[in-house]
Amino acid sequence: MNVYQLDPLRDPRWERLVEGHPSGSVFHSTGWLQALRDTYGYEPIVYTTTPPDRELANGLVICRVRSWLTGGRLVSVPFSDHCEPLVDNTEELAVLITSLKESLQREGLKYFELRPMLSTESADQAYQGLSKSESYYFQSVDLRPDLDTLFRSFHKSCVQRKVHRAEREHLDYEEGRSDVLLRKFYDLMALTRRRHGLPPQPLLWFRNLICTLQDKVTIRVTSKDGQPVASILTIFYKKSLVYKYGCSDSRFHNLGGMAFVFWKAIQDGKRLGAVEYDLGRSEQDNEGLISFKENWAAKTTPLTYYRYPAQRTVSDNSSWPARVVKQASSRMPIWILSAIGRVLYRHIG
């Protein structure tokens, strides 16, 4: 089979394939790819076995990342939790992977990384010759039951009581895409990232997501006496409600604000017809985040990323620089940490 390349931002066949394919997600969409290009300059490319004069039957979308700091590479796709190759069989997938290997050699890039959602024995055969680069847990909530049944399935202490506490506290709730709401969200995001010893992604990234995905994006903020206490950013795409970013002010965790906005999102998702609440990936050693999602009756499945060529093994002793950076970041003024994020994130996608 021949392999062709196309620009998904210019070729309307790509969005039609994503919309019609059962594995098509927001991370495949032209909105997500356009925001990546506008914010970080990443170049999206689709590899396909479909000739230019026919409707797309398959495609593997990837972004070319060029960085003087971390090197050039192909990633499918940056800042996504998952991005399943849109193919019908393993033969097509194997052909596209072979073409990716040829692109690496031809362009002198370091590696390519794939972030598939599905893991089956036949799919694993297609990924033979690639190394497993990262392992996570993917968690999602089945939204098909009615709201009362869903609420009863949530953890009584960690979810139900916190939602009721937020209601007793008369927390204010807002949702939308206004610049005022974005600012409230971003201020909480910067606080949260500093608490974790990490810089926040640039404000421009969130502005571009709103610009390209428009009404698919919703910012949800809950406040106490005018003080924002918790916020999340969700994306509704096809039949899936995607929880992508969450943040909070730790001084007000006892008010149940995060549980409250999560429950509001679920209610909204049901109204829109969502059948799944995609809670994204969690590092396998992050027991707190995994437990938080499991408290919402989330199903947990392994999520594996693949890389070619194989990733070099790094000694555990070399992790001390990361610990030093995290400790320093947790003490930095937020404006400095935000400036670091504006420079850093284009190199780590």
Based on the fold, state whether residues 122 and 256 are members of the same structural domain: no
Predicted confidence band of residue 1 (pLDDT cuts 50, 70, 90): confident
Query: Per the domain annotation, does 98 fall within a domain?
Result: yes
Residue ranges with strand state E in 210-270: 217-224, 227-237, 240-248
Based on the fold, state whether residues 76 and 125 are members of the same structural domain: yes
CATH of the domain at 64: 3.40.630.30
Residue 55's contacts (CB-CB under 8 Å, 6 or more residues apart) are 13, 16
pLDDT confidence of residue 315:
39
**Average pLDDT estimate for 73-102:** 95
The pTM of this model reads 0.94
Query: Per the domain annotation, does 257 fall within a domain?
Result: yes
pLDDT confidence of residue 123:
64
Query: Per the domain annotation, does 161 fall within a domain?
Result: yes
Based on the fold, state whether residues 27 and 125 are members of the same structural domain: yes
Based on the fold, state whether residues 145 and 216 are members of the same structural domain: yes
Cα distances (angstroms) measured from residue 7 to each of 45, 83, 93, 142, 192: 5, 17, 19, 34, 36
pLDDT one-digit tens code per residue, 143-164: 999 999 999 999 999 999 999 9
Q: Choose one of 66, 95, 129: the last residue of a domain.
A: 129
Query: Per the domain annotation, does 336 fall within a domain?
Result: no
pLDDT one-digit tens code per residue, 213-235: 999 999 999 999 999 999 999 99
Based on the fold, state whether residues 115 and 218 are members of the same structural domain: no
Based on the fold, state whether residues 50 and 79 are members of the same structural domain: yes
Mean pLDDT of all residues in the chain? Answer: 93
pLDDT confidence of residue 108:
94
Predicted confidence band of residue 326 (pLDDT cuts 50, 70, 90): confident
Based on the fold, state whether residues 259 and 173 are members of the same structural domain: yes
pLDDT confidence of residue 316:
41
Cβ atoms of residues 224 and 256 within 8 Å? no
Residue 65 has pLDDT above 90, yes or no: yes
Query: Per the domain annotation, does 319 fall within a domain?
Result: no
Based on the fold, state whether residues 289 and 183 are members of the same structural domain: yes
The number of angstroms, rounded, from the C-alpha of 302 to the middle of its chain's C-alpha atoms is 16
Query: Per the domain annotation, does 320 fall within a domain?
Result: no
Per the structure, the complete domain to which residue 260 belongs is given by 139-301
Query: Per the domain annotation, does 236 fall within a domain?
Result: yes
Q: Choose one of 301, 322, 344: the last residue of a domain.
A: 301
Q: Choose one of 77, 103, 129: the last residue of a domain.
A: 129
pLDDT confidence of residue 7:
98
Based on the fold, state whether residues 169 and 119 are members of the same structural domain: no
**Average pLDDT estimate for 185-194:** 96
Count of the separate structural domains present in the chain: 2
Based on the fold, state whether residues 121 and 52 are members of the same structural domain: yes
pLDDT confidence of residue 313:
45
Based on the fold, state whether residues 84 and 146 are members of the same structural domain: no
Query: Per the domain annotation, does 329 fall within a domain?
Result: no
Residue 120's contacts (CB-CB under 8 Å, 6 or more residues apart) are none
Based on the fold, state whether residues 160 and 227 are members of the same structural domain: yes
Phi, psi (deg, nearest 5) at residue 134? -140, 145
pLDDT one-digit tens code per residue, 251-271: 999 999 999 999 999 999 999
